[in-house]
Amino acid sequence: MQPPLLGKTALVTGASRGIGAAIARRLAADGADLVLHYGHDTAAAEGVAADVCALGRRASLLQADLADAAQSESLYGQAAALSGGAPAILVNNAGIGRFAALAELPVAEIQTVLAVNVTAPILICRAAAGAMPAGGRIINLGSVITDRPVAGRATYAASKGALHAFTSVLAQELGPRGISVNAVAPGVTATDRFKRGDASRVPEILARTALGRIGTPEEIAALVAWLCRDEAGWITGEIIRADGGLRGL
Ligand SMILES: NC(=O)c1ccc[n+]([C@@H]2O[C@H](COP(=O)([O-])OP(=O)(O)OC[C@H]3O[C@@H](n4cnc5c(N)ncnc54)[C@H](OP(=O)(O)O)[C@@H]3O)[C@@H](O)[C@H]2O)c1
């Protein structure tokens, strides 16, 4: 049987590690060619590109600092130039968290979180909005933080709440062209960020998760990849949680 995403190109932001790297590998396994965006870790991005190529798909690399609006604005166009056509799949995955009590979070860090988590996906979608082919797919990585509040994450939650709202409204705008726009909102997922975090929280997280474990990047990637398939074409404007049944933390 033909792979479901054969002939499509996907731009994945933040594809050098974590959930973004897993999404890139999964989309390649499903037949897509990839434009892999990354921030600073060229070696890691090259490793993911090698994995994509080993799956028989094409991989191009694009470095850009998504805290910089001009670099965000030009990313989709650069991906189109590299891959010979406007990517039919856009996954806005890159995101950062700066976790601290609000009074202790420097203003510059607040601005960076909002720039990378909100402004960048909006600007990348703006560039894609006029160019993406009919039947395209936009998937934004949100978070369950918006309805599972945790102290010290107010700015991060505000950024993801804004991204969720943006997702549902953009779906209305792009629907007439057959482009779906959805957000996947992970719960706690075992990426480097989680491994670097506060281990003392783990027992409580496990106790509050119906499935009693932490999620994997591959589980998030599987949902993103399914949303990219033709058979998911009726789903748009949704914020889909993937959190193992997490209750309030
Ligand atoms: N992990 C979780 O538990 C969890 C839970 C809920 C939601 N999420 C969301 O899922 C997404 C992926 O999370 P993750 O845990 O996989 O993150 P991660 O391991 O920290 O990876 C983040 C990715 O974003 C890129 N990035 C960060 N800042 C950037 C910047 N200024 N410019 C360009 N690229 C930048 C990084 O590139 P370089 O490393 O090359 O700089 C990296 O590829 C994020 O949107 C996150 O908010 C994660």
In ligand 1, the atom with minimum distance to the C-alpha of 16 is: 43
pLDDT in tens, 91-144: 999 999 999 999 999 999 999 999 999 999 999 999 999 999 999 999 999 999
3-state secondary structure of 14: coil
Is 90 exceeded by the pLDDT of residue 193?
no
Ligand 1 near 65 CB (within 6 A):
yes
Q: How far is CA 141 from the centre of its chain?
A: 4
Q: Is residue 36 part of a domain?
A: yes
Tell me the pairing of strands 137-141 and 59-63.
Answer: unpaired
Given 18, 48, 124, 156, the catalytic residue: 156
Ligand 1 near 173 CB (within 6 A):
no
Average pLDDT estimate for 40-64: 98
Q: How many whole angstroms from 50 Cα to the centroid of ligand 1?
A: 20
Q: Is residue 249 part of a domain?
A: no
Other residues' Cβ atoms within 10 Å of the Cβ of residue 194 = 18
Is 90 exceeded by the pLDDT of residue 186?
yes
Q: How far is CA 241 from the centre of its chain?
A: 13
CA distance 213 to 208: 9
Residue 223 is part of which domain span? 9-242
Q: How many domains does the chain have?
A: 1
Structure pTM?
0.98
Instruction: List the beta bridge partners of residue 37.
Output: 62
The pLDDT-based confidence of 249 (bands split at 50, 70, 90) is: low
DSSP H helices, the chain, are 18-29, 42-54, 69-83, 107-114, 120-129, 154-174, 192-196, 202-207, 217-228
Q: Is residue 83 part of a domain?
A: yes
Nearest CA, atom 29, ligand 1? 39
Read off the CATH number of the domain in which 216 is found: 3.40.50.720
